Amino acid sequence: MKLYYSPGACSLSVHITLREADMAFTPIKAPTKTHKLDDGTDYYSINPLGYVPLLELDDGTRLMEAPALLQYIADQVPGKHLAPANGSVARAQVNGWLNFVSSELHKSFAPLFNPTTPADYKPMVAERLLSRFKWVDEQLAGQQYLVGDSFSVADVYLFNVSNWAPMVKVDLSGLANLTAFRAHMAQRPAVQAAMRAEGLIR
């Protein structure tokens, strides 16, 4: 398999999950600013939308969208328990969290990263984003992970997206449960290995 990624982007969640799954893959850097691979290939020729992640299977099939890829990987290695069984209530909860992180958190960062966003609009976006993180903080009260005490791919996605908060001056330091969650996640060997490989930590 090949994973097309951009350092620190949402593709990091897929990178981490592949390492959690102990699956063989080749990481290929596809920077979202230049859209040029190291060999000079135009990334748009691989993904016309230009964004990451993209997972190319050994048969050439190309899959996109982080929540879908996270579940696909988890389902390839059921013994790793990266997601609950399909059809279970717990799986529906994980799906719910993946959708929430995608629509309420991930997408909400876009205007804050966009230099063309009007300056007077950004504070409103940041305030709404922080309110969503506060809600997540409340849900984490008394539990280690998003779905009870069971680690899942939803936790990886939340960790990945919450990493962007300092870049756009969204202060999460007052959210004790989320801070503890992030610290715990940061200690996972697969998280550290993926972040080190992407040059995000030493």
**pLDDT of residue 169 exceeding 90:** yes
Q: What is the pLDDT of residue 148?
A: 82
Would you place residue 156 in the very low, low, confident or very high pLDDT band (cuts 50, 70, 90)? very high
Contact, 98 vs 153, CB < 8 A? yes
**pLDDT of residue 164 exceeding 90:** yes
Domains and CATH numbers, the chain: 2-80+190-197 (3.40.30.10), 89-188 (1.20.1050.10)
Cβ atoms < 10 Å from Cβ of 77: 16
Mean pLDDT of 153-172: 98
35's tokens: 């859209």
Backbone angles phi, psi at 127, to 5 degrees: -65, -45
pTM of the model: 0.97
Mean pLDDT of 168-181: 97
* Tens digit of each residue's pLDDT (9 = 90 or more) over 102-153: 999 999 999 999 999 999 999 999 999 999 999 999 999 999 999 988 999 9
